[in-house]
Chains A and B, each alone.
Chain A
């Protein structure tokens, strides 16, 4: 239980650091979430007005806007911020050395400092969300979710944040062997963007493919939580999603352990 103290201190230290750099931090945040939403908004508005249909794949324009609005808010929270590159550089440049002597694992340290940044991003995201809601209440007419589903939604989003983080950590281990890992991380980001529903809703994919997605974690990072907010998901399905994520977290965690242990034998602590 004494670990609570060190975890919360990791979180608050990171928050303090974020506030040292607030301008660049918030700017980046709005740029990532905001730009993407603006592009999607204009794109779908044009598609709907040109094709003169009122529904595409069951999405009305309002639903589509809502989809990408939710997508922007959730994405800002579950995004791994490419932490894998930061951790990988630490391994490559010998920064890891100082963490190896701490009586706290590198994984714990990274996770809780990462969480510190995320808490700030979540708060910003929520505030923006509230402002948008107040400004455009008509968009949210369809937004009706039970409290219980909302609770499950929170758990699911937290787990998908963990999954996304762990995936980056897993890939960062390649730095023990390779000089350049950014390409691996970028590939992961690309996969995630495509398979999570960040670019188009996943129900635009053929049904067979869509079914396969249910067994991979990516879907649960964005598409699935958005569907919960859109009121399209049964409660049992949410439990299923949470289960899938838990299984993946365990798998990724053990893969990470394996690579970490093997990699550490090769670590030479350069530059110290």
Chain B
């Protein structure tokens, strides 16, 4: 197992900080504590080489989980092991084997070319010269960054910066990689190329990866397995198909009509999602979908019909809507 999490709970205790210096001094002696439950009794384990998607709405606790697994913060109770180490003990032996990339934070030096930061990371992680050159040249080739490595980071586009961050994170060939919203704010093209890169990287380097993302496209193309967090509680852990099986109680039938039909007539079968002149999409109960489809075929002038699952995005939204 690459990662094992048992009964992990995190409660943020922050002290109410008052503005100004006198407020600060006062708060040294008398402090009002604010508690915030971010994770509650989380259990899961992840095998070597798995690519797991971590999903949940804003504030669900995704970043908190990644911070604990990186040893940045301490858990309140419970335990976690990454490659056999407790991350918050901050052993160099573990630190040399994982990496974390955060969409909103950068580790590269802003005023310097990315390559300068790479050189520093090379020494921090004690990567051998030959290995370093090989990795930089391979990764920058795939990510199409070869001629961007010598430009100051602040002059790069958002997408290029994220690609440089990815290379930086992979210089020491980590066994475990955490990606917290790596595609946030990027244009579709950059998102796609990063997605493609991660897919090949995971399959070639056999790196264990946890990815959080707002974009279900990221999760769908990359992760066979997903973990769903909702307000700090683990809601689901399993395959993407499993999510569909468990939560998708509905299917979508879309029909192409030979000639115009009154839309009203379809409402007896399900809810209309979309319609235009000769095209209609209705949401129906999953277990009745085939029966309804054949009834539709019998009663309407239909030239083409398909039945599909509702989109994963829709399902996830439903899960969170229900829990509210």
Contacts and interface: CB of A to CB of B under 8 A. Distances in A.
Interface string B129-149: 000000000000000000000
Interface in B68-85: 70-74
Interface string A62-94: 000000000000000000000000000000001
B184 to A, nearest CB: 13
Nearest to A8: B123
Given A21-B111, A272-B63, A100 B123 contact: no
Given A2-B126, A179-B19, A180-B20, A9 B73 contact: no
A267 B73 contact: yes
A267 B13 CA distance: 10
A36 B215 CA distance: 57
Interface stretch (B101-109, B218-226, B229-237, B243-251): B101-109
Interface in B85-99: 90, 92, 95-96, 98-99
Nearest to A102: B124
Q: Which label, helix, strand, loop or mixed, suits the secondary structure of the B interface?
A: mixed
A6 interface: yes
Contacts of A16: 112, 116
A20 B123 CA distance: 22
B125 interface: yes
Contacts of A272: 63, 67, 72, 102, 104-105, 180
A143 interface: no
A17 B28 contact: no
Given A103-B95, A272-B63, A272-B180, A178 B112 contact: no
A101 B95 contact: yes
Contact of B116 (A13, A101, A178): A13
Given A20-B112, A97-B105, A179-B17, A103 B27 contact: no
Interface residues of A, number: 32
Contacts of A95: 105
Interface in B142-161: 152
B303 interface: no
B104 A269 contact: no
A17 B109 contact: yes
Given A17-B112, A267-B73, A100 B90 contact: yes
A6 B123 CA distance: 5
Given A20-B152, A103-B95, A269-B72, A180 B21 contact: yes
A170 interface: no
30 contacts: A2-B126, A5-B126, A6-B120, A6-B123, A9-B119, A10-B120, A13-B117, A16-B116, A17-B109, A17-B112, A97-B102, A101-B70, A103-B92, A103-B124, A103-B126, A177-B15, A177-B27, A177-B28, A178-B17, A178-B27, A179-B17, A180-B20, A180-B21, A183-B21, A268-B73, A269-B67, A269-B72, A271-B104, A272-B102, A272-B105
Interface of A: 2, 5-6, 9-10, 13, 16-17, 20-21, 94-95, 97-98, 100-104, 177-180, 183, 264-269, 271-272
Given A94-B105, A103-B126, 14 more contacts: A5-B126, A17-B111, A17-B112, A20-B112, A97-B72, A100-B71, A101-B70, A178-B25, A264-B74, A265-B74, A267-B72, A269-B72, A269-B73, A271-B104
